[in-house]
Amino acid sequence: MLYYCITSNIAIVLGVNECARKRLCTTLKNMENDRYDIVIVGGGVSGTALLYALSHYTDIQRIALIEKYHLFGQVNSHAKNNSQTLHMGDIETNYSAEKARQVRGAAGMVKRYTETLPPEERDTILRRVQKMVLAVGQGEVETLEKRHDALKEIFPELQKLDAHGIAEAEPEVMRGRDPHELVLGLCSSQGYAVDFGLLARSFARRAQEAAGNTVNLLLGHTVEQIERRDGVYILNTDKGPVRADIVVVNADAHSLGFAKSLGYGKEFSLIPIAGSFYFTPQKLRGKVYRVQDPRMPFAAVHGDPDLTAPGLTRWGPTARFYPALEAGKLSTMRQFFSASGMHRIATWASFGSILLDPLRFWYLLRNFFYDLPVIGTYFLLPQLRKIVPTLRGRDVRRARGYGGMRLQRVDTRTRELLLGEGKIIGDKIIFNMSPSPGASVCLYNAMRDAEAISGFFPDEDYHFDKARMARDLCEEKIETIEDPSLYDTYAS
């Protein structure tokens, strides 16, 4: 009735006919319906995890999620674009013991969530796999010995294996290896492979099923610009504007571009690293990682069973400089140049300082040769043989269509590479950039953001039931866990 009165009065003033008055009424209704309490931009596993948390554990009434693709989890959450690993901190050797303790609790929330699902859904999302970290040579073995001592209380299931034990757990790792070569393994049967794209869809579906609020999923909507007018955010999409009181941008590397357009994060840039994967016939029973060089910001090549390709072992990722925001999408190159601030001298100076470091330079150059047609696999082969000594060049083929992006942030003021996740909190807006282990700790990050949003509302207008979320999803007291994504971060 209110709309009818308003539009009737406007129609009288404008002198329009009845049909025009009805169209005007419909337009005003649509405008009002396009205003939400919170809008989330990005339908990957991080954005949908927040949607799930807000729909189940807050009293927010109107929530929307905008995703440019027609399915959730189509970029870095897609199973072909990541290592499909639930990172717990036990086989990630550059996690400190305290970091591993934090990540185990935070990543465990994903496992607990899947336990609430029907078995047929749970089993498509999460699969238990054996996992191992392998040390080769005196130096790596000593490092792993010390690590086991530091982790055995946190991960009592983590077994220390000598050469014989490794051969029993992963026969191909020891077959053909020099018997005099010193090796050590830390192995657990409590590893998990995750299809984060399917997990994102599960979060979105259950968010819509939640009672007590309105959740709109705006798939196939591309956010072209975010602006603020009179205290309200206007998200201009290719399907029309959407209005929101609060915005959370969970669009990974795209988030920085949106932040800069609103005056935030101008001191940051992005170094775009694309990863490639390779297939061999199945050589491993589970996941096998290597001890990581602590001087390197990228994880060493490792082997995994692949959820999308049964009967094969997937190897990678390699790393190469690729000036775009999404793997294989050169159409996102323009957004990369805009978000990274390539027009600034400070950006070029920072890139030079970081990429011309001898260790990183030769690493990236070596990885460039891995991707060369035909001969690239032979350059890669020595790295793979550190895990499976009997691999041959004809066993290895490029995994076409596999590989994601890990855009690492750079502080152009200090010329430092900032590993792991980034978060910028502005005036009723949050920007998240979430390379690994962002997917593994997506529910914990959602809990953090749901709590941070409380600062955007008057106390009486917002209630987040953190205690209930912790009871439902946490294996330990999550309140004691610090942010697992911003300290001692895991190399992507």
Listed range (294-298, 419-423, 480-484) with the worst mean pLDDT: 480-484
C-alpha separations of 468 from 54, 57, 87, 114, 215 in Å: 12, 7, 24, 17, 21
Q: What percent of the chain has pLDDT over 70?
A: 88
Q: What is the pLDDT of residue 54?
A: 96
Q: How far apart are CA 229 and CA 245, in angstroms?
A: 11
- Please tell me the predicted confidence (pLDDT) of residue 99: 85
162 secondary structure, DSSP code:
-
* pLDDT band, very low/low/confident/very high, at 97 (cuts 50, 70, 90): confident
Q: Both ends of the chain: CA-CA distance in Å?
A: 55
Structural domain boundaries of the chain? 2-33, 35-480
**Displacement of CA 88 from its chain's centroid (Å):** 14
Of 268, 248, 317, 292, which is closest to residue 488 (Cα–Cα)? 292
Q: What is the pLDDT of residues 191-216, one digit of tens each?
A: 999 999 999 999 999 999 987 778 99
Residue 396 token pair:
């290895």
Q: Is the pLDDT of residue 17 over 60?
A: no
Confidence check: pLDDT of 20 > 70 = no
DSSP lists the bridge partners of residue 334 as none
- CA 106 to each of CA 198, 268, 453, 481, 492: distance values in angstroms, whole numbers, following the listed order: 19, 27, 19, 8, 18
Provide mean pLDDT across the span 391-398.
Answer: 94
Check residue 69 and give its pLDDT.
96
CA 108 to CA 181: how far, in whole Å?
Answer: 36
Q: What's the pLDDT tens digit per position in 281-290?
A: 999 999 999 9
φ, ψ for residue 283 (rounded to 5)? -120, -15
Phi, psi of 352 (to 5 degrees): -60, -45
Cite the beta strand spans of 181-261 per DSSP E: 183-194, 214-219, 223-229, 232-237, 240-249
- Top mean-pLDDT range of 23-32, 114-123, 369-378, 454-463: 114-123
- pLDDT confidence band for 144 (50 / 70 / 90): very high
pLDDT score at 128: 96
Buried b / exposed e over 467-492, threshold 16 CB at 10 Å, is: eebbeebbeeebeebeebbeebbbbb
Cβ count near 460 (within 10 Å): 6
The whole-number average pLDDT for the span 431-454 is: 88
At position 52, the amino acid (one-letter code) is: Y
How would residue 480 be classed by pLDDT, with cut points 50, 70 and 90? low
- Here the tokens at position 480 are 């004691």
The residue written with tokens 């460039």 in the block is 368
Measured CA to CA, the distance from residue 281 to residue 302 in angstroms comes to: 15
Q: How many helices (H) and strands (E) does the chain have?
A: 16, 20
Lowest mean pLDDT among 160-174, 232-246, 337-351, 364-378: 364-378
Alpha helix segments (H runs only) across 415-481: 442-453, 466-473
Q: Indicate the average pLDDT of the chain.
A: 88
User: Are 250 and 223 within 8 A, CB to CB?
Assistant: no
d(CA 219, CA 51) in angstroms, rounded, equals 14
DSSP 300: P
Q: What is the DSSP string of 357-378?
A: SHHHHHHHHHHHHHTSTTTHHH
Q: What is the pLDDT of residues 48-90, one digit of tens each?
A: 999 999 999 999 999 999 999 999 999 999 999 999 999 998 9
Give the phi and the psi of residue 395 in degrees, each rounded to 5: -75, -20
How many angstroms separate the Cα of 360 from the Cα of each of 118, 170, 346, 367, 417? 46, 31, 20, 10, 12
Residues 448-474 have pLDDT tens digits of: 999 999 889 877 788 999 999 999 999
Alpha-carbon distance of 56 to 59, in angstroms, equals 8
DSSP conformation class of 30? H
Q: What CA–CA distance (Å, rounded) separates 358 from 102?
A: 33
- Tokens encoding 216: 């709109």
Q: Please count the other Cβ atoms lying within 10 Å of the Cβ belonging to residue 201.
A: 20
Residue with the bigger pLDDT between 42 and 24: it is: 42
Least confident piece of the model among 183-197, 250-264, 297-311: 297-311
Give the distance, in angstroms, between the CA of residue 369 and the centroid of all CA atoms in the same chain. Answer: 27
Second-level CATH architecture of 35-480: 2-Layer Sandwich (3.30)
pLDDT above 60 (res 42): yes
Q: How far apart are CA 454 and CA 419, in angstroms?
A: 27
Two structure tokens written together for 421? 């996740």
pLDDT at 28 over 80: no
Task: With a cut of 50, say whether residue 272 has pLDDT above it.
Answer: yes
Residue pLDDT, tens place only, 294-340: 777 667 899 999 999 999 999 999 888 889 998 888 889 999 998 99
